[in-house]
Amino acid sequence: MRSSEEFDWSETHLRVRYAETDQGGVVYHSNFLIWFEVGRVELCRDHGFAYRDMEQQADAFLPVTAVRVRYRSPAIYDDEVTIRTRVTSIRSRAITFAYQALRKCDGTLLAEGETDHVVRNREGRARSFPTEYSGRLRQKISP
């Protein structure tokens, strides 16, 4: 297992949708978990594979077993948001990702968090990571 410092951040961007706001005038807090998942998927793509293929071709799913989020500043409708994602640990049957959500125009940190996942097959039984995919996730991204 590599130390967490070696993992690089992956970045993607999205724009806050009206449907994601609430009557408090800011983004409803559960939407950050959906954005973090967008970040995970783009991190996979940055490492050379589609998360969709890992599910369909390798029968490996990554259900979430825990989430932790700290909200720092509200996200506002129509804001462009940068989602930064990186792997913080990867083992044979589990993986943890870390995230930062930033307002793109000024770099304000909106929220940060982590999600823990285990590897399961379609029937929900624990299985080990397909090495083709875990190998890619472990690989340092060279720019």
Question: How does strand 80-90 pair with strand 64-71?
Answer: unpaired
Is 8 among the residues known to form the active site?
no
Alpha helix (H) residue ranges in the chain: 31-46, 51-58, 131-138
Q: Which is nearer to its own copies, 6 or 22 (CB)?
A: 22
Q: Which is nearer to its own copies, 2 or 13 (CB)?
A: 13
Residue 19 interacting with its own copies (CB under 8 A): yes
Shortest approach of its own copies to residue 18 CB, angstroms?
A: 6
Residue 70 interacting with its own copies (CB under 8 A): yes
Contact 44, 141 (CB under 8 A): no
Residue 50 interacting with its own copies (CB under 8 A): yes
Shortest approach of its own copies to residue 41 CB, angstroms?
A: 7
Three-class secondary structure of residue 57 per DSSP: helix
Q: Which is nearer to its own copies, 19 or 140 (CB)?
A: 19
DSSP 76: -
Contact 118, 63 (CB under 8 A): yes
CB count within 10 Å of CB 90 equals 21
Q: Which of 11, 46, 49, 77 binds its own copies (CB under 8 A)?
A: 77
C-alpha–C-alpha distance, residues 12 and 82, integer Å = 6
**Chain CA centroid to CA 1, Å:** 20
76 forms bridges with which residues in the sheet?
Answer: none
**Binding residues among 21-40 for its own copies as defined by CB under 8 A:** 21-26, 28-31, 33-34, 37-38
**Residues designated as active site:** 22
Q: Tell me which residues touch its own copies (CB under 8 A).
A: 15, 17-19, 21-26, 28-31, 33-34, 37-38, 41, 50-52, 61, 63-71, 74, 77-78, 124
